[in-house]
């Protein structure tokens, strides 16, 4: 047997090179490993989609007439009015339905009390 061809990782392991820090770093952080000064924008999902789809199914059956679908349309309007009221009342300090503050408010609070990175 002439020089047996082992794969590269075997030779490296056997030579003990890998243990002595002569290897590429295990972790290459893409960003600095620290909390940022802002929170990501939490997107609200669209409201009243179920009611809308129910209404559209009713339309499809009744050839887009409004009179046979009056009940579904009323339900949709109620849902829209409720969502609108929720949005208006959302401008208070607590988003009570989810239990979290809206992200813009959190960002404002964080800006008021910033992280001190250096002492002067």
Contact set with other proteins (CB under 8 A) = 43-49, 52-53, 55-56, 59-60, 64-67, 73, 76, 80, 87
Is residue 15 classed as helix, strand or coil in its secondary structure? helix
- Taking the least distance from each CB to other proteins, the nearer of 12 and 101 is 101
DSSP annotation of 37 reads S
Least distance to other proteins, CB of residue 84, Å: 8
**Complex with other proteins: residue 22 or 82, whichever CB lies closer:** 82
Q: Computed from CA positions of residues 53, 59, 61, 66, in that sequence, does the dihedral angle turn out positive or negative?
A: positive
Nearer to other proteins, 73 or 110 (CB): 73
Q: How would DSSP label each residue in 45-114?
A: PPSSHHHHHHHHHHHHHTTT-SSTTHHHHHHHHHHHHHHHHHHHHTTSS--TTTTS--HHHHHHHHHHS-
What tokens does 91 get?
Answer: 């401008």
Q: Minimum distance from CB of 44 to other proteins (Å)?
A: 6
Tell me the closest approach of the beta carbon of residue 64 to other proteins, in angstroms: 5
Output 6 or 64, the one with its CB closest to other proteins.
64
Minimum CB–partner distance for residue 110 and other proteins (Å): 23
């Amino acid at each position: 047997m002439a020089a047996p061809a082992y794969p590269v990782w075997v030779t490296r392991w056997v030579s003990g090179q890998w243990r002595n820090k002569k290897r590429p770093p295990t972790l290459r952080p893409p960003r600095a490993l620290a909390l940022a000064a802002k929170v990501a924008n939490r997107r609200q999902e669209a409201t009243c989609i179920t009611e809308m789809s129910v209404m559209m199914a009713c339309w499809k059956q009744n050839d887009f007439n409004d009179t046979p679908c009056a009940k579904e349309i009323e339900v949709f309007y109620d849902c829209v009015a409720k969502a609108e009221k929720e949005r208006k009342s959302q401008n208070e300090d607590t988003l009570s339905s989810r239990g979290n503050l809206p992200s813009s408010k959190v960002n404002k609070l964080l800006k008021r009390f910033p992280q001190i990175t250096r002492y002067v």
